[in-house]
Amino acid sequence: MKTCANCQTSLPPEARFCHQCGALQLSSLKPATATPTWDWEAPLVQQAFARFQERLNERVACEQDETQLPQYQERLYESNYRETVQRRLLQWEESLTISPHQTEQQRHLRELRHLCDDLLDFFFIIHCADINKIVLPQVLLRYQQLPVQEVDLGEMALAFLDFEHEEERLYTDFVKMPVNKIRNAGKAFLFPEREEKIWFICDQSLLGNAKKGFAMTEKALYWKSGLQAAQRVYYHKLFALSKEKEWLLINELYFNASPSLNTKMIWLLRRLSRLLRADL
């Protein structure tokens, strides 16, 4: 037997998640792949394009169908989007003020990561709609360059998750939501702070009683999946987001809504973390 580091529950040696609190058991994680080193004396655009290709591979594996990766790579060249990417990377290079200070260098690489994600967002939505396993609405692109003070985050969350194309029981009007369901969600997984604005509650319980599902507020994502314990992650404290088979790991906690909602949740949390400076 082994013990969960989060809640001290005894678990079988092969357990990947704690059945009590839902925490991922770190001993089950695969060794992290080291980030390639960056040489500020070498050609920067060439290195930046290599980073872009690595990010493309990562995101296809995490968000779409990994077996379709060759089609995405071919589409990058067939669509001539490769030239657009290299032009934008050249603009990024020309904007740099090369500094020996590590903090400044890290800032430049963070900007590069954000640029790669923005370019890939456009690539997936505009050039790869016929390849994508999960449909992504074009409205997501409108949020790319907006600062947080110009964004209605609740409206953005609903746009990213695109519930109109999901078979879920969704509540955004809590005056019309049955009182017993609000009470059940509040007892089961939704524990907001006083005055914390709730954007929506998604009821995923089999009986429609709102005892399982997820909700988002102006501060955090709250959820209860399957037999797991209720969980909460604040957007500004996001530090890890990945896909493991058909479910997500959010700060190493199990989350599973549906295949399509999981992918759209990755996009949404990545955008929220960037807007709120979690810098995922």
Greater confidence (98 vs 170) lies with 170
Angle, alpha carbons 184-190-195 (nearest 5°): 115
Q: How much is the pLDDT for 11?
A: 74
pLDDT over 90 (residue 145): no
Which single residue is written with the structure tokens 């058991």? 25
44 burial (CB, 10 Å; 0-12 / 13-18 / 19+) is buried
Average pLDDT of the chain is 89
DSSP 17: B
- Token pair recorded at residue 156: 């953005």
Measure the CA–CA gap between 175 and 189, rounded to whole angstroms: 19
**What is the share, in percent, of the chain residues with pLDDT greater than 70?**
89
Cβ count within 10 A of residue 268: 23
Q: Give the distance, in angstroms, between the CA of residue 219 and the centroid of all CA atoms in the same chain.
A: 15
pLDDT in tens, 28-41: 444 444 456 899 98
Alpha helices by DSSP H, 95-229: 102-122, 153-161, 179-188
Angle, alpha carbons 15-18-21 (nearest 5°): 175
pLDDT in tens, 72-106: 999 999 999 999 999 999 999 999 987 778 888 88
Q: How much is the pLDDT for 31?
A: 40
Alpha helices by DSSP H, the chain: 44-63, 69-78, 81-94, 102-122, 153-161, 179-188, 259-275
pLDDT over 70 (residue 25): no
Q: What are phi and psi of 202, to 5 degrees?
A: -110, 110
Confidence class for position 182, pLDDT limits 50, 70, 90: very high
Which single residue is written with the structure tokens 């640029």? 115
pLDDT in tens, 119-136: 999 999 999 999 999 999
For the chain, what is the largest distance between any 2 Cα atoms, rounded to a whole number of angstroms? 63
Contact 55, 120 (CB under 8 A): yes
Contact 257, 167 (CB under 8 A): no
91: left (phi over 0), alpha (psi -120 to 50) or beta: alpha
pTM: 0.85
Q: How much is the pLDDT for 207?
A: 93
The half-sphere exposure of 68 on its side-chain side, counting CA atoms within 13 A, is: 17
Amino acid identity, residue 22? Answer: G
**3-class SS of residue 123:** helix
Confidence class for position 278, pLDDT limits 50, 70, 90: low
Find, among 39, 43, 51, the residue nearest to 116 by Cα. 51
Mean pLDDT over 159-174 rounds to 95
Q: How much is the pLDDT for 225?
A: 86
Q: What are phi and psi of 60, to 5 degrees?
A: -65, -45
